[in-house]
Amino acid sequence: MFKKDPKNDTDTDVAPLDDSVVAEESAAETIKKLREKLKTTEKERMEYLTGWQRAKADLINARKRDEEERKEFIRFANERLIEGILPVLESFELAMGNKEAWEKADKNWRTGVEYIYSQLKKALEDGGLTELKPVNQKFDHALHEAASYEPVTDEKLDHVVTKVIQNGYYINGKLMRPAKVVVGEFKKKE
Let me know: does 128 contact 78? Beta carbons within 8 Å.
Answer: yes
Q: Is residue 45 part of a domain?
A: no
**58, pLDDT greater than 60:** yes
**DSSP assignment letter at 173:** T
Question: Tens digits of per-residue pLDDT, 172-183?
Answer: 888 999 999 999
User: Pairing mode, if any, of strands 144-152 and 179-186?
Assistant: parallel
Q: Tell whether 141 is covered by a domain.
A: yes
Q: Is residue 64 part of a domain?
A: no
Helices (H), ranges, the chain: 19-97, 99-104, 107-126
Residue 185 falls within a domain, yes or no? yes
Q: How many domains does the chain have?
A: 1
- Supply the pLDDT for residue 147: 92
* Inside any domain, residue 69: no
Q: Does residue 77 fall inside a structural domain?
A: no
DSSP state of 105: S
Decide if 83 is inside a domain.
Answer: no
pLDDT, tens only, 61-95: 999 999 999 998 988 888 889 999 999 999 998 88
CATH of the domain at 141: 2.30.22.10
| 136/190: higher pLDDT | 136
Count of other CB atoms within 10 angstroms of residue 36 = 10
Sign of CA dihedral 122, 126, 129, 132: positive
3-class SS of residue 154: coil
Q: Are 136 and 184 in contact (CB under 8 A)?
A: no
How many other C-beta atoms can be found within 10 angstroms of the C-beta atom of residue 168? 20
Range of the domain at 171: 130-190
Is the pLDDT at 4 greater than 60? The verdict is no
Q: How does pLDDT run across 7-57, given as a tens digit for each residue?
A: 555 555 555 556 777 777 888 899 999 999 999 999 999 999 999 999 999
Does 96 fall in a domain? no
| Structure confidence by residue, pLDDT tens digits, 132-170 | 999 999 999 999 999 999 998 888 889 999 999 999 999
Backbone CA torsion sign across 14, 19, 20, 24: positive
